[in-house]
C-alpha cells in the first residue's frame, strides 16, 4: 500500500525492537531502520533498511511511502543534527506525523546535554508543522539490565548515588506499547507531550527488594556519593557531557525532585503500568 507504511528509527534498540514486534503482530507494513543489517531481527510485515541518520541522503529511500515515523536514536555528539535530518526529510516527503522518543527532562534551555538536545529537537519538530507526539520516559527500568544486573550477578549487591530518593521508572515495554498506540491511532495523539512513568515512585531499596524476591536471594542496595558515581562513569570512559547529565539526574532524585507519577501509560494503554515486581520477575535470569 502506498503512503501507509511506518518508519521506525531505533528499531534494534530497547524500545524499537518491541515496537516492531507489535507492528508486525498487527500486520502493519513497517520500515525498520538500522545502520547495520546484521542487527536486523526478521518479522512478518517488517522490511529492514540500512540507513544512517548522520547522512541525510540515506534517508529518502528509508522514509519514502511512509505516513508516520517513530524517531529514536542514541545520545551521539551530533544528536541534534542527526534527528533534524529525519524531521527535514519527513517534511520533504510530506509525512504527516512523527512520534519522537524524548527525555523526561527535555528543555531547550536546560544546562545538561541530554535534556537540552532533546529540547532543541522537540522545538524544531514543533516548528516544522508536522504533527508530533513527544514520549518522555522519566527513566526506563531496562537501564537496570546493565551495570546493576552485572553487579547483582557477581556479588548480590549494587551501587547507586540516589540515596533514598525516588523515581517512577517506566518499563520500556510500556513505552513501546504507547508508541504503538500513537502510531496506529495518530489523530488522537496529535501534538501531545506525554511524560511516561510507572504508577509508583521507588527508591533503590525498593528495587533491591523486588529483585531479591524475583531471584529468591538477598540483593542489597549500597548507596554511594555523587562523587563516587562520577568517578565510576569516568573510569568507564563515558563522555563528560553524559557524565554531567547522569549525575544531574541522580542529584535530582537524591534531592526528592523526581517522584512524579503520571497517568499517561494507564490512560493510553487502558491498563496499569507494568510494575517493578513484574519487571524483576520477567528479567530474573539477567540478575541470577
| Residues of this chain that bind ligand NAP (CB under 6 A) | 9-14, 16, 33-36, 39, 52-54, 72-76, 82, 101, 103-104, 114, 137, 139-140, 143
Residue 52 or 213 having the CB closest to ligand NAP: 52
Rounded to a whole number of angstroms, the minimum distance from the CB of residue 204 to ligand NAP is 15
Distance of alpha carbon 150 from the chain centroid: 21
Q: Name which of 8, 3, 2 is nearest 183 in CA terms.
A: 8
Rounded to a whole number of angstroms, the minimum distance from the CB of residue 16 to ligand NAP is 5
Q: How many CA atoms lie within 13 A of 263 on its CB side?
A: 2
Rounded to a whole number of angstroms, the minimum distance from the CB of residue 255 to ligand NAP is 19
Kindly state the DSSP code that residue 274 receives in the 8-state scheme: P
Q: Which residues are CB-contacts of 207 (< 8 A; sequence separation ≥ 6)?
A: 144, 148, 221, 276, 280
Residue 130 or 168 having the CB closest to ligand NAP: 168
Q: Name which of 147, 140, 170 is nearest 238 in CA terms.
A: 147
Residue 56 or 213 having the CB closest to ligand NAP: 56
Rounded to a whole number of angstroms, the minimum distance from the CB of residue 168 to ligand NAP is 12
Residue 11 or 201 having the CB closest to ligand NAP: 11
For residues 244 and 66, what is the distance between their CA atoms, to the nearest angstrom?
Answer: 37
Rounded to a whole number of angstroms, the minimum distance from the CB of residue 217 to ligand NAP is 26
Rounded to a whole number of angstroms, the minimum distance from the CB of residue 141 to ligand NAP is 8
For residues 175 and 180, what is the distance between their CA atoms, to the nearest angstrom?
Answer: 9
Environment class of 272 (CB within 10 Å of its CB; exposed 0-12, middle 13-18, buried 19+)? middle
Buried-exposed string 62-80: b where 16+ CB fall within 10 A, e elsewhere: bbeebbbbbbbbeeeeebb
For residues 253 and 61, what is the distance between their CA atoms, to the nearest angstrom?
Answer: 43
Number of residue whose CB is nearest ligand NAP: 13
Rounded to a whole number of angstroms, the minimum distance from the CB of residue 188 to ligand NAP is 23
Residue 39 or 159 having the CB closest to ligand NAP: 39
For residues 215 and 236, what is the distance between their CA atoms, to the nearest angstrom?
Answer: 28
Residue 97 or 144 having the CB closest to ligand NAP: 144
Residue 45 or 246 having the CB closest to ligand NAP: 246
Amino acid at each position: 500500500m502506498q503512503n501507509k507504511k511506518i518508519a521506525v528509527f531505533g528499531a534494534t534498540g530497547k524500545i524499537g525492537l518491541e515496537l516492531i514486534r507489535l507492528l508486525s503482530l498487527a500486520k502493519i507494513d513497517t520500515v525498520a531502520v538500522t545502520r547495520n543489517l546484521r542487527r536486523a531481527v526478521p518479522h512478518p510485515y517488517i522490511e529492514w533498511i540500512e540507513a544512517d541518520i548522520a547522512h541525510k541522503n540515506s534517508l529518502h529511500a528509508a522514509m519514502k511511502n511512509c505516513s508516520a515515523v517513530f524517531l529514536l536514536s542514541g545520545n551521539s555528539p551530533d544528536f541534534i543534527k542527526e534527528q533534524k535530518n529525519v524531521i527535514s526529510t519527513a517534511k520533504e516527503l510530506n509525512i504527516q506525523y512523527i512520534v519522537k522518543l524524548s527525555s523526561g527532562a527535555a528543555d531547550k534551555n536546560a544546562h545538561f546535554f541530554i535534556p537540552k538536545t532533546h529540547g532543541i529537537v522537540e522545538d524544531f519538530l514543533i516548528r516544522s508543522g508536522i504533527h508530533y507526539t513527544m514520549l518522555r520516559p522519566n527513566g526506563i527500568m531496562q537501564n537496570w539490565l546493565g551495570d546493576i544486573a552485572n553487579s547483582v550477578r557477581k556479588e548480590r549487591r549494587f551501587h547507586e548515588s540516589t540515596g533514598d530518593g525516588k523515581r517512577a521508572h517506566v518499563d520500556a515495554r510500556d513505552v513501546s506499547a504507547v508508541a504503538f498506540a500513537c502510531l496506529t491511532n495518530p489523530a488522537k495523539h496529535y501534538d501531545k507531550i506525554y511524560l511516561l512513568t510507572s504508577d509508583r515512585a521507588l527508591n533503590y531499596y525498593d528495587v533491591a527488594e523486588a529483585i531479591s524476591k524475583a531471584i529468591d536471594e538477598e540483593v542489597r542496595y549500597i548507596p554511594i556519593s555523587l562523587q563516587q558515581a562520577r568517578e565510576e562513569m569516568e573510569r568507564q570512559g563515558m563522555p563528560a557531557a553524559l557524565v554531567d547529565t547522569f549525575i544531574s539526574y541522580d542529584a535530582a532524585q537524591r534531592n526528592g525532585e523526581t517522584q512524579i507519577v503520571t497517568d499517561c501509560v494507564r490512560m493510553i494503554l487502558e491498563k496499569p503500568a507494568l510494575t517493578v515486581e513484574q519487571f524483576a520477575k520477567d528479567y530474573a535470569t539477567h540478575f541470577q
